[in-house]
Amino acid sequence: MIVVWVLILLMVLSALTLLEGAFMQDSHTIASVGWAGYVVTSSFNDNQEITSISGSWLVPEVNVSNGNGYSSAWIGIGGQQDKTLIQIGTEHNVINGEAKYNAWYEMLPEYAIKIENFNVNPGDQVTASLKLVNCDLNEWNLQLLDVTTGQLFNRNFIYNSTRSSGEWVLERATVNGQISNLADYGSIRFTDCTTTVSEKQGILSDFAYSLVHMTNHQYDRLATTSELGPDNCSFIVSYAKNC
């Protein structure tokens, strides 16, 4: 069963969580019920637009013994301060005792779309990128490369984004109207995290950013995001508990 189509619900919930009390302009740490990772926003960067983002990660292996759970790793633009979000990534779930792995992309408010004939396996190194290639037409290039197998998804789309934020995120989905358990994925390391803010391209630490931890509604930690690594463009999101 493919669950990527339900991510739209989580996107809205996560955005509202960040806006309604969890996000403070004088703080660079955010609590979210759905996201863990890093966010670069235009409000922290002189209201300049985010026009590209990229990152890499190893597809994690989920622990099937902990019951049903859901997790996705992705990069995206938008969604942190508004309801536009364009994103691409991988999904790693446990459904009825079986691990499921997929690749997908999504442009809110449309549903997420599974990338057909793109096989994802634990341990695969993937590299993802989003780039505004024509600002007059709002044309974006989306790429996902499985470095391990050589599979490549590369397509252009027309999408009207506010370009107000860029994200590197580990997420849990909403299933049948309920936010899901987080799959026990162990940990995932995002590397080579770069972005373009207006005309300046750089690594994550070149811009003002926020660190995001995932919690439940009681603020119990579900996933913990590390500080940036020595290269200033990598970090780890570690599974904390299933809730």
Mean of pLDDT values over 9-28: 39
Cα 117 to chain centroid, rounded? 22
**pLDDT for position 164:** 94
Name the one residue in this structure whose structure tokens are 């994690």: 60
Q: How far apart are CA 133 and CA 131, in angstroms?
A: 6
Of all residues in the chain, the percent with pLDDT exceeding 70 is 88
Neighbouring C-alpha atoms within 13 Å toward the C-beta of 15 = 21
**pLDDT for position 176:** 78
pLDDT tens, 122-159? 999 999 999 999 999 999 999 999 999 999 999 999 99
pLDDT tens, 22-50? 333 334 888 999 999 999 998 888 889 99
| Best CA proximity match to 41, nearest among 210, 240, 241 | 210
pLDDT tens, 52-83? 999 999 999 999 988 889 999 999 999 877 88
Burial 144-179 (b: 16+ CB within 10 A, else e): bbbeeeebebeeeeebebbbbbbbbbbbbbbbeeeb
Check if the beta carbon of residue 64 is closer than 8 Å to that of residue 93: no
- What average pLDDT is seen over the chain? 88
Q: Which residue ranges form the domains of the chain, and what is each CATH number?
A: 4-239 (2.60.120.700)
**pLDDT for position 82:** 84
